[in-house]
Amino acid sequence: MIDRHDQNSKTKDYLTSIEECVSHEIRAHDYETLHEEEELEQLLLQNDQEDNSTSVLTQKDMNTSFPRRKLNLHQAEISEKTFSKNDLRRHRNKKKGPLDAGYNSEEVELLFEIEEGVISDSCNEAVEKKKHSHRKRFNIHQSKLKTTIWQKKHFLSCLVTIGLFNLLLLTLKLKYKSKSAQLNTKMSSNGTALFAPTTILISLDGFRPDFLSRGITPRLNAMREEGFSPVYMRPSFPSVTFPNHYTLVTGLHPESHGIVSNVFWDGYLKERFYYTKPDAMNKKWWGGEPIWVTAEKQGVKTAVHMWPGSEAHIMDIEPSYLDKFDFKTTMKEKSEKVLEFLDMEAHQDSSDQVMRPQLIAAYVPHVDADGHFYGPNTTEIRNTISGADNMVNEIYQGLEKRNLTDIVNIVVVSDHGMATTDIERMIQLDDLLDLSKIDHIDGWPLSGLHPKSGVDVDELYEELFQKAALNPNFDVYLRDKNMPERYHFSNNKRIAPIWIVPVTGWAITTKEEFDIRESKLKGLQYHPRGLHGYDNEHPLMHSIFIARGPAFPHIPSNRIKPFQNTEVYNIICHTLGLVPASNNGTLHLPLLPIDPQEPDFIHELPSDLEVDLVSTAPKDQDNTITSLPFKTASPKAVSSENQESTVESNSSNTSKFLTIDHDWIANKEDELWKWFMEKTAQIKSWYDKSLA
Angle of CA points 75, 76, 82, to nearest 5°: 85
Strand, helix or coil for residue 298: coil
Helix ranges (DSSP H) in 20-120: 23-51, 59-65, 73-94, 105-115
The CA distance from 292 to 51, in Å, is 85
Nearest to 188 by CA among 656, 560, 567, 658: 656
Nearest to 416 by CA among 379, 373, 368: 368
Neighbours of 244 (CB within 10 A): 27
The CA distance from 509 to 446, in Å, is 9
The CA distance from 501 to 480, in Å, is 16
Nearest to 305 by CA among 319, 293, 284: 319
**C-alpha pair distances (Å), 27 with each of 36, 136, 145, 193, 417:** 14, 14, 17, 87, 87
DSSP at 478: E
Helices and strands: H and E segment counts in the chain: 17, 20
The CA distance from 330 to 257, in Å, is 30
Neighbours of 475 (CB within 10 A): 23
Query: Catalytic pick from 241, 250, 294, 632?
Result: 241
E-strand stretches of 155-211: 188-189, 194-195, 198-204
Sign of CA dihedral 614, 615, 616, 618: negative
**C-alpha pair distances (Å), 381 with each of 206, 371, 599:** 11, 6, 31
The CA distance from 255 to 495, in Å, is 8
The CA distance from 360 to 202, in Å, is 8
| Cβ burial, residue 89 (10 Å; 0-12/13-18/19+) | middle
DSSP at 534: S
Residue 241 falls in the annotated catalytic set: yes
The CA distance from 214 to 558, in Å, is 19
Cβ proximity of 452 and 505 under 8 Å: no
DSSP at 593: P
- Which residues does the annotation mark as catalytic? 241
